[in-house]
Amino acid sequence: MKIKKGIGEEFLEHLDIYFKRIPKHPKHFPKKENPTEKHL
């Protein structure tokens, strides 16, 4: 298995991009009533 350096920083950059999209496009990210509940 090859380990990629900087993957954590890359992941955080992608998260930042998505977090900035939420207020601009809230309908693309619907709020779930109980996100921790598992549905079987």
Nearest Cα to 29, choosing from 13, 40, 18, 39? 18
The range of the structural domain enclosing residue 2 comes to 1-30
Q: Is 20 among the domain residues?
A: yes
What is the H or E stretch that residue 19 is in?
Answer: helix 7-24
Q: Which pLDDT tens digit goes with each residue over 2-17?
A: 878 888 999 999 999 9
Residue 39 is predicted with a pLDDT of: 58
Residue with tokens 């890359």: 10
Residue with tokens 């998505």: 18
Q: Is 12 among the domain residues?
A: yes
Q: Which pLDDT tens digit goes with each residue over 23-34?
A: 898 888 777 777
Q: Is 38 among the domain residues?
A: no
Q: How far is CA 24 from CA 4, 14, 27, in A?
A: 32, 16, 9
What is the H or E stretch that residue 9 is in?
Answer: helix 7-24
How many structural domains compose the chain?
A: 1
